[in-house]
Amino acid sequence: MPQDFVKRMRVMLVFWKQRLVLLSVPKTGTHAYTQALAPLASMVITDPPELKHAPVYRYNRFFRPMFEKMGADDMDLVAVIREPLSWLGSWYRYRQRDDLVGRPTSTRDVTFDDFVRASCEDAPPPFANVGSQAKFSEARPNGTRISHFFRYEDQAGLRRFLAERLGPLPDIPHVNVSPSTELSLSEEERALARARRSADFDLWESIPIADASR
């Protein structure tokens, strides 16, 4: 696969010999790892979006049965989880880009308070429909689950783990960064997010810092 094509994609990576799958949780920096590690992967899932961003339930439905038939019933799933308000901020910035102006998904004329409030609705409008990291990572009744969680903020721990499983890593670029915008959030909306997105906060707070030097 041409490297310039991989650079444009967020993908799920499968490392067959190492029995490792790196899931692509949106807005958690995994695009940088995709760009660097795709040449080392056995499978690079680029399309359709429903599979390249496959959450655990979709991995369980489409990939796990295939892998088990090929003798790999011990694949480790890896996911990176970002602090929830930072994650929402990244989505908000990303949807302010020029090519979305005038579209229902644009946040150009929306305040961050309004975005966070809308994201907490039972049926969020298109500009605030971003899903949930906890839902993405939810374990399945048959036992399929994330084997290794890492905080987005713990890049050193993630890199050390990947190096232990894959060998020496290439340089990990800093790519796909959303436009820098100073964000402020009222205490009211902060409390609302914690209440309505408690599963996301509970998940992130449950993940220890893997890099002991921090």
Q: What does 14-44 look like in DSSP terms, one character per residue?
A: EETTTTEEE---TTSSHHHHHHHHGGG-SEE
Number of domains in the chain: 1
- Note down pLDDT in tens along the chain; length 214 residues: 344 433 334 578 999 999 999 998 999 988 888 888 999 999 988 777 667 678 999 999 999 999 999 998 889 999 999 999 999 999 999 999 999 999 999 999 999 999 999 999 999 999 999 999 999 999 999 999 999 999 999 999 999 999 999 999 998 876 445 555 679 999 999 999 999 999 999 999 999 987 555 4
In-domain check, residue 79: yes
Residue 212 within a domain: no
Cβ proximity of 22 and 12 under 8 Å: yes
Q: What count of other Cβ atoms lies within 10 Å of the Cβ of residue 173?
A: 12
Strand spans (E) along 108-210: 148-151
By residue range, what is the domain housing residue 187? 3-206
Q: Would 214 be classed as within a structural domain?
A: no
Question: If you compute the radius of gyration of the chain from its CA atoms, what whole number of angstroms results?
Answer: 18
User: What CATH number has the domain bearing residue 127?
Assistant: 3.40.50
186: in domain: yes
Q: Are 21 and 13 in contact (CB under 8 A)?
A: yes
Look up the pTM and report it: 0.88
User: Is position 211 within any domain?
Assistant: no
Neighbours of 18 (CB within 10 A): 17
Confirm whether 213 is domain-assigned: no
Range 48-53 contact pairs with CB under 8 angstroms and sequence separation of 24 or more: 51/12, 52/9, 52/10, 52/11, 52/12, 52/24, 53/10, 53/12, 53/24, 53/25, 53/26
